Amino acid sequence: MSAESMDSMEARSHRIVKILLRSGLLVAAALMLAGVVVKLASGDDLALAVSFDRMFGGNIDIGDRLMSIGVFVLALTPVARVIALIALWTLQRDRRFAITATVVLAILCLSVVVGHAG
């Protein structure tokens, strides 16, 4: 692959990452705002702490759910950066770093499981 097409691939991946980050932030902010508004409007006195199973499953009111999912979407934005870099470095045939980024992604997935057990 030529140096130019490597560079344009890189520039393209940067553009994609910026779009991903911006959209992720907007969606997260909208969800959080909506959740806060709903929570206040519902007249509920107490806000609860949530964990993953509550967030997507169980017994939780809509305001809390919107806010938690907003936080979750926000947390996914750095993950999206890591995934984009795995893709870029794979396409650039930079094996060492594609593997490195994959290891980081695996550790991030592990963090979801680890707290749960604790």
Partner 1 sequence: MLEIGSVDVLLFAVVGIFAGALGSLVGIGGGLIVVPALVLIFDIDIRYAVSTSLVAVVATSSAAGSVYVGSGLANMRLGMTLEIATTVGGISGGLLATTISPSVLAGIFAGLMVLTAALQARGMWTSRGAAAVAGKTAAGGSEKSAAGGYEERGKLAGGYFDQAQGGFVHYEATHLPAGAGISYGAGVASGLLGIGGGFLKVPAMNLAMGVPIKVAAATGNFMVGVTAVSSLFVYIASGLVHPFLAASVTLGIVVGALAGTVAAARAPTNIVKLVLVVIILLAGAQMLLKAIGIDVG
Q: Would you tell me which residues interact with partner 1 (CB under 8 A)?
A: 10-11, 14-15, 17-18, 21-22, 24-25, 28-29, 32-33, 35-36, 39-40, 44-52, 54-55, 64, 67-68, 70-72, 74-75, 77-79, 81-82, 85, 89, 92, 94, 96-97, 100-101, 103-104, 107-108, 110-116, 118
Return the structure tokens found at 72: 């979750």
- The distance of closest approach from Cβ of residue 21 to partner 1 in the complex, given in angstroms and rounded to an integer, is 4
Closer residue to partner 1 (CB): 5 or 14: 14
Closer residue to partner 1 (CB): 5 or 48: 48
71 with 3: CB under 8 angstroms? no
Q: Reduced to 3 states, what is the DSSP secondary structure of residue 87? A: helix
* d(C-alpha 84, C-alpha 65), whole Å: 28
User: 97's torsion region: left (phi>0), alpha (psi -120 to 50) or beta?
Assistant: alpha
